[in-house]
Amino acid sequence: MLAINGFAPRDWNSHPPYLSPDYKSTPLRAPTKPLVILPQGLSELTGPVYGQDAVGHLDHDLTQNAAKSGKPNGERIIVAGTVTDENGRPIPNILLEVWQPNAAGRYNHTDDQHDAPLDPNFLGAGRCVTDQSGYYRFITIKPGAYPWGNHFNAWRPNHIHFSLFGPSILTRLVTQMYFPGDPLLELDPIFNGVPEAARHLLVAKLSIEISEPEWALGYEFNICLRGRTATPMEA
Amino acid sequence: MVPKQTPSQTVGPYFAYGLTPEQYGYDYKQLTDNILTENGVAQIQIRGQVFDGNGDVVHDAVLEIWQADSQGRYAHPSDPRKTNTGFGGFARHGTGTLADHFYEFETVKPGANSDDQAPHITVVVFMRGLLNHVYTRIYFPDETLANEADPVLSLVDADRRGTLIALQEAEGSYRFDIHMQGERETVFFDP
């Protein structure tokens, strides 16, 4: 037996309910029965470990990591921030994966038939591992808005998809980062599935500190994962 | 100020080049595939489909598995019996590339871990229309006695336990379908 501190539960004041009827893919895919509370044991308190060596040296730079013959089109930006837990402790050495459409609002995916051009120099995927301070940094192109079939004249606000691991399989998080001042946010049922008081947590801040003069604007997006509880679990 | 958990959002329909690029034919290295080996060998296959509330197969889900090695040891510093077989324990597969939208993992059958639980695999499921990932578990049909004694299965209503137990299709070959809704709705956990 080993005593390991467990993790605080998922905070359902932050996370969206599974059934968010305005987002029309949820009614047939949301679980209908209550989730079964699972005591945290060794299977929950462990998870995949990725170190700095998991990522290539250009993986964090989406303007270069798929370039074939030049630079991608669009506005170059820097997206950076700190990953912490709920106790405010930075989380070092965790993997972040991101994906997004290009500047024209087109995903490089066969299911995306939006009439906007693909960019031969932009795939739209990247990854990095947080440093010892829990800090991460991506260089990318500001993603475009695009139409989707949820309702008449539906458009997704500009966003970047994020996937994070953290210290255990319990801290797994997939989310989306949005941009400040986007008028499409109030019309978006995916963003608005989140309880109102928590929505601002998904909107990055323009940061002059992260911006680089004569080169790129910077956005700060800090991410908070489930924190350890004070009580050790017998695992 | 104490930070609040960043809200979850759906993985959406276009995760393929971000999470599973090589599986879907993109020219970008992926970190994780659907094969887990112990000393270079995989012994079992687990495959299945994901169904929505209409009973339609979901073609844009991505599944992740996390499991112990054949001796019940996790590749993680919190497991004092940490694996020594090169077994990573984490794999990922999307439902968009195989015929009939199956997912498929090749792996080893996990041993019982030091929690005295029956052999099981943790499954994390993401898809368009799912605003938070769901957690479930795969148990094995050839572990009847261990399953009967398992403290997690015993938390589940007896008439729903079967949704957590894979079917044996052949020697070393298991099937585990996931039903998001309906009479056979899979048991999902909130760990």
Q: Model pTM?
A: 0.97
Q: Indicate which residue of A23, A146, A178, A219 is catalytic.
A: A146
Cα–Cα distance measured from residue A190 to residue A199, given in angstroms and rounded to the nearest whole number: 11
ipTM of the complex: 0.96
- Distance of residue A36 Cα from the nearest chain B Cα, in angstroms: 5
Q: Do A26 and B129 touch (CB under 8 A)?
A: yes
Whether B102 has its CB under 8 Å from any CB of chain A: the answer is no
- CA-nearest of A43, A32, A119, A22 to B124 is A43
- CA-nearest of A103, A125, A105, A117 to A55 is A125
Contacts of A99 in chain B (CB under 8 A): 14-15, 17-19
Other C-beta atoms lying within 10 Å of the C-beta of residue A180: 11
Q: Taking a contact as any Cβ pair under 8 Å apart, which residues of chain A between 56 and 95 contact chain B?
A: 56, 65-66, 84, 86-88, 95
Q: What does the pLDDT read at residue A233?
A: 66
pLDDT band at B85 (very low <50, low <70, confident <90, very high): confident
Of A28, A39, A42, the CB nearest to B113: A42
Q: What does the pLDDT read at residue A3?
A: 66
Residue B145 confidence (pLDDT) above 70: yes
Cα–Cα distance measured from residue B58 to residue A180, given in angstroms and rounded to the nearest whole number: 33
Q: Is A136 a catalytic residue?
A: no
Cα–Cα distance measured from residue A96 to residue A164, given in angstroms and rounded to the nearest whole number: 5
* Helix/strand/coil (H/E/C) assignment for every residue in chain B: CCCCCCCCCCCCCCCHHHHCCCCCCCCCCCCCCCECCECCECCEEEEECEECCCCCECCCEEEEEECCCCCCCCCCCCCCCCCCCCCCCEEEEECCCCHHHCEEEEECCCCCCCCCCCCEEEEEEEECCCCCCEEEEEECCCCHHHHHCCCCHHHCCHHHHHHHECEEEECCEEECCEECCCCCCCCCEEC
- CA-nearest of B60, B51, B62 to B177 is B51
- Distance of residue B80 Cα from the nearest chain A Cα, in angstroms: 7
Q: Is A172 a catalytic residue?
A: no
Higher pLDDT, A141 or A229: A141
Q: Is A159 a catalytic residue?
A: yes
Q: What does the pLDDT read at residue A145?
A: 96
Looking at the domain that runs over B16-179, which CATH code has it been given?
2.60.130.10
Q: What is the pLDDT of residues A66-110, one digit of tens each?
A: 999 999 999 999 999 999 999 999 999 999 999 999 999 999 988
* Strand spans (E) along A86-199: 95-99, 125-129, 135-141, 146-148, 154-156, 159-164, 173-178
Q: How confident is the model over B56-73, as a mean pLDDT? A: 97
Residue A131 confidence (pLDDT) above 80: yes
Whether A1 has its CB under 8 Å from any CB of chain B: the answer is yes
In chain A, the N- to C-terminal Cα span, in Å, equals 6
Q: What does the pLDDT read at residue A1?
A: 46
Could you name the CATH architecture of A3-28+38-234? Sandwich (2.60)
Whether A157 has its CB under 8 Å from any CB of chain B: the answer is no
Q: Do A10 and B132 touch (CB under 8 A)?
A: yes
Whether A11 has its CB under 8 Å from any CB of chain B: the answer is yes
Residue A38 confidence (pLDDT) above 80: yes
Q: Is A107 a catalytic residue?
A: yes
Whether B120 has its CB under 8 Å from any CB of chain A: the answer is yes
Are A176 and A184 in contact, with CB atoms under 8 Å apart?
A: no
Q: What is the DSSP letter of A203?
A: B
Q: Do B188 and A31 touch (CB under 8 A)?
A: yes
Name, of A42-56, A102-116, B44-58, the range with top average pLDDT: B44-58
Residue A235 confidence (pLDDT) above 90: no
- Each domain of chain A, given as residue ranges in start order, spans 3-28+38-234
Q: What is the pLDDT of residues A179-229, one digit of tens each?
A: 999 999 999 999 999 999 999 999 999 999 999 999 999 999 999 999 998
Residue A164 confidence (pLDDT) above 90: yes
User: Residue A91 corresponds to which tokens in the numbers above?
Assistant: 């989380």
Residue A234 confidence (pLDDT) above 80: no
User: Residue A199 corresponds to which tokens in the numbers above?
Assistant: 């929505």
Cα–Cα distance measured from residue A227 to residue A71, given in angstroms and rounded to the nearest whole number: 40
Q: What does the pLDDT read at residue A2?
A: 55
Whether A220 has its CB under 8 Å from any CB of chain B: the answer is no
